[in-house]
Structure 1
Amino acid sequence: MKEELAKVLMEWQETWTPELVEREFDFSLIPWELNKVVTFAGCRRAGKTYLMFQLINELEKTTERESIFYVNFEDERLEKNIETLTELIPTIEELYGKKEKLYLFLDEIQNVEKWDSWVRRVNDSRRDVRLFLSGSSSKLSSREIPTALRGRALTFEVFPLSFREFLRFRDFEVPENVKFSRKKPELLNLLREYVLYGGFPEVVLTKDTRIKRMLVRDYFNTIIALDVVERYGVRNPEELRAFIRLLLNSEYFSLSKLERTMKSLGYSISKATLSNYLRYLQECYFAFPVEVYSPKVKLRIQYPKKVYFVDSAFITFLSVKFSENFGRLMENTVFIELLRRGKEVNYALGNNWEVDFVLPDEETLIQVSYDVSNPETMERELKALKKAKKLFHWKKAVLITWDEERKVDGIEIVPLWRFLLEGY
């Protein structure tokens, strides 16, 4: 085991980081002066590893190379047990000597059994070691960080590229005044591509739609196989896949109805199992159930949930209904952007009206509609926002459209590109 670990460490020192397009990340947020473990949590292939590489490149400007080490715990040569972690620092010091400061970047660390106890011990006992962790599991997020690390870790959640990052990856410079710029048609064309095919970095850099499809399907299969089936010991993967297909083709769901549908398809499954499947998908950052906004817990449980996915590409390539509703892809894009900005999100439902997003912390309502050129559509969307404003006694309401921009009855109508680039 120690020989393989030594080989992995030496290979890292010889190869170093690859060329990369930089993500938007404020490295000043990392508390270098505090003894904190830094974690990056997010969906597989969203860019956590390259963000770590970007941080390593920054660190290399002031730190010698042999003080920085990256280990990927999906490397098949490494045993996924606590003994591997225990041997890590002694092996580094045996190979390269004891350093004044050691920086360890440990990728997909959740694959290692009892990783959190080792991290706590090292963080508490070795002030000369700084730990940076990443994983495709919400167990590394600030909401679910193991008890052993509470108060010791600072978490950054990593999502696929924002629209601004997407434009940088496509070498498009945003003009100062988009609304009146000659480059606006090109911007809208790129926005349509972003909404359809999402922000996974590798997919963005691939122009052939057929290759995009292959990549997204491969991501999906890998997420299900490694982050759900293997990690949680799912006994019936085909049953799980059928459940996911139903979610991908549904804007709303209730576990009771899904249970009946699954049984009608020939699957003998319980509501409890479906609840576990949903939790697994949420923990690996693949799917996000959203509850109705209500101070009454009973109503939150009783009402159907809406479901969104970490990237709209999954809807585009794995759903049979995506082409019927570009608005759903827009809505999914807005939802992920709200998560990226750290918002708490619900939806609102009333008598013959619905509001897509409710942000309780900001007392803000957001509606998403692709095309409001039809007066009846505009009236319907504005009516829902007005009713919700009156019900909740909130002042701020926003209608996000493809390219409309004005103010009606105190409601801001904002084009999607402006919301993604500037906010609301």
Structure 2
Amino acid sequence: MSQLAENLIKEWWSNPAPTIIPRDVDLMPYYNLPVKKIVSLVGFRRVGKTYILLDFAQKIGKENCLYINFEDERIPKDVSFLSDVIETLTEISGAKQFTLLFDEIQNIPNWSGWARRIVETTNHKLFITGSSSKLASAQLPTELRGRSLTIKVDPLSFGEFLRFKKVDINLLPEPNQLNLVREYITYGGFPEVSLVDEGTKILIINEYYNTFVSRDIVERHKIRKVELLNNLIKLILNSPFYTISNLTKSLKLMGFDTGKATISRYISYLEESFFLKNLELHTPSIKKRGKASRKPYLVDNSFLFRFSTEFSNNFGRLMENIVFNNLANVYYWQNYQSKEIDFVVREKEVNTKLIQVSFVEAKATIRKREIDNLVLGSKILKCDDLTLITWSVEDVLKINGKIIKMIPLFKFLLNL
């Protein structure tokens, strides 16, 4: 029996459960699946994966499961320790079936072969989490393909944010509603950040960012050119568009000896960790799409507010980042005259919705180009569902036979 494994098991069973605010992600439907699967929760670090597991543990009973966080410094980075845990669990409890809740399991090398064996040869259920997209179904090691289900965990939605704040926004006057929206798009949706005062928020955001860079990028990928990486992230944080070529040129002008292959690889690491998502140009030409500029969006607004010198006080950009994170199957559109639509939503190869985002507090302040671009895009893209997401204006515009719905950001976020 492994003494460390025994200690971890007994610590789990003896320690009191934390107070948990429920999220919208519910693992109970995955508890008694007709086919045995590994259930994988993936997402950026500190978005709440651990507390979703702990909430699940309380629902099924702590005595029926085992939670281990593999970022615990006591745990050796050796796959044999995973087997030690199962053997120790069997020695303590016999043949009882357990639900294994293994947090950040990707820290253990070669964990996937062990996971397959556990699912195929024991009666235990396995739920895992990780802050790398390589735990998602599409990128899992070959031996686990078809044997897992992936649940993506994001920072708090606006509805969850209000739940954490214990607020019914419908009961508040408009200034108070907008104050909550302002806090949400400024400091983002990390659960811990939403619960503390403004000064502490900044300290936590700093810690999250530094830990992400050092552990999820530098240590995980053995990056030696750390200064190059840091400056690349700064460029992305301050760029409305980018190409690999332009980033490489900018970094060379800053004195770095680098090439497009290195920059492309570093960007893939940022995407793999869920920090960065890229929006591509809407065009039927795959070649043109590959060469076109990408629009960068971040996993959480807090990083844009805290670390972007260009966009930290740009509420239009902060709004746009939040809207992007609430959309799926989306592109941007831009013609040869650089007339642009922020988001083109597509379903089954059909353009279903065109969305512009603008910090508009009064109808009279709407920029003409926002409306003109929607009308032009509607004709070219053959889409009549047109939306302008504003800060606080709600109205309907009729322009050249087109109807444009103006929706306040908080109503869009709540699907009101």
In 2, Cα distance between equivalents of 1:148 and 1:377: 54
In 2, Cα distance between equivalents of 1:284 and 1:16: 31
Alignment match of 1:159 (pick from 145, 154, 164): 154
- Partner deviation per Cα, 1:371-420 (whole Å, 9 max, x = no partner): 26475744211221222222221232211111111222322211101110
Is the alpha carbon distance of 1:368 and 1:2 closer, same or farther for their aligned partners in structure 2, counting shifts above 3 Å? same
Shift of 1:95: 2.0
| Number of aligned residues | 407
In 2, Cα distance between equivalents of 1:346 and 1:143: 21
TM-score between the two structures when normalised by the length of structure 2: 0.94
Shift of 1:336: 1.4
Is it true that 1:411 corresponds to 2:412 in the alignment? no
In 1, Cα distance between equivalents of 2:169 and 2:360: 24
In 2, Cα distance between equivalents of 1:67 and 1:24: 23
- Partner deviation per Cα, 1:135-164 (whole Å, 9 max, x = no partner): 001111233233322222111111111111
- Partner deviation per Cα, 1:76-130 (whole Å, 9 max, x = no partner): 111122111122211111123220x21000000111111112111211222x211
The DSSP-based 3-state class of the residue aligned with 1:407 is strand
Is the alpha carbon distance of 1:261 and 1:374 closer, same or farther for their aligned partners in structure 2, counting shifts above 3 Å? farther
In 2, Cα distance between equivalents of 1:98 and 1:83: 20
Is it true that 1:355 corresponds to 2:345 in the alignment? no
In 1, Cα distance between equivalents of 2:364 and 2:63: 65
- 1:66·1:96 contact (CA, 8 Å) conserved in 2? no
- 2:28·2:56 contact (CA, 8 Å) conserved in 1? no
In 2, Cα distance between equivalents of 1:29 and 1:405: 38
The code of the aligned residue for 2:333 comes to A
The 5 A counterparts of 1:268-287 are 268-287=257-276
User: Quick check: 322-331 or 23-32, which moved more?
Assistant: 23-32
The DSSP-based 3-state class of the residue aligned with 1:322 is coil
- Partner deviation per Cα, 1:335-367 (whole Å, 9 max, x = no partner): 1122xxxx1221111123111112222622211
The 5 A counterparts of 1:1-12 are 2-12=2-12
- Partner deviation per Cα, 1:224-255 (whole Å, 9 max, x = no partner): 11111111111111110111011111111111
The 5 A counterparts of 1:304-319 are 304-319=293-308
The code of the aligned residue for 1:4 comes to L
Counterpart position of 1:85: 82
Alignment match of 2:245 (pick from 244, 256, 260): 256
In 2, Cα distance between equivalents of 1:170 and 1:97: 44
In 1, Cα distance between equivalents of 2:139 and 2:17: 30
Shift of 1:183: 2.9
In 1, Cα distance between equivalents of 2:373 and 2:119: 51
- 2:363·2:393 contact (CA, 8 Å) conserved in 1? no
The 5 A counterparts of 1:168-247 are 168-175=163-170, 182-207=172-197, 209-247=198-236
In 2, Cα distance between equivalents of 1:385 and 1:2: 64
Counterpart position of 2:92: 95
The DSSP-based 3-state class of the residue aligned with 1:398 is strand
Gaps of 5+ in 1: 176-180
- Partner deviation per Cα, 1:255-277 (whole Å, 9 max, x = no partner): 11111110111111111111111
Alignment match of 1:68 (pick from 54, 65, 72): 65
Is the alpha carbon distance of 1:164 and 1:251 closer, same or farther for their aligned partners in structure 2, counting shifts above 3 Å? same
The code of the aligned residue for 1:371 comes to V
The 5 A counterparts of 1:36-55 are 36-55=37-56
Gaps of 5+ in 2: none
Shift of 1:324: 4.4
Counterpart position of 1:136: 131
In 1, Cα distance between equivalents of 2:373 and 2:47: 34
In 1, Cα distance between equivalents of 2:75 and 2:91: 18
In 2, Cα distance between equivalents of 1:163 and 1:268: 43
In 1, Cα distance between equivalents of 2:352 and 2:31: 31
- 2:43·2:273 contact (CA, 8 Å) conserved in 1? yes
* CA RMSD, 1 decimal: 1.7
The code of the aligned residue for 1:354 comes to E
User: Quick check: 138-147 or 412-421, which moved more?
Assistant: 138-147
Is the alpha carbon distance of 1:87 and 1:25 closer, same or farther for their aligned partners in structure 2, counting shifts above 3 Å? same
- 1:291·1:306 contact (CA, 8 Å) conserved in 2? yes
In 2, Cα distance between equivalents of 1:16 and 1:111: 26
In 2, Cα distance between equivalents of 1:315 and 1:377: 24
Aligned-pair identity in percent equals 39
The DSSP-based 3-state class of the residue aligned with 2:322 is helix
In 1, Cα distance between equivalents of 2:9 and 2:415: 42
- 1:372·1:378 contact (CA, 8 Å) conserved in 2? no
In 1, Cα distance between equivalents of 2:250 and 2:367: 35
The DSSP-based 3-state class of the residue aligned with 1:410 is strand
Shift of 1:27: 4.0
Shift of 1:321: 2.0
The DSSP-based 3-state class of the residue aligned with 1:363 is strand
In 1, Cα distance between equivalents of 2:175 and 2:330: 31
In 2, Cα distance between equivalents of 1:92 and 1:154: 25
In 2, Cα distance between equivalents of 1:142 and 1:365: 30
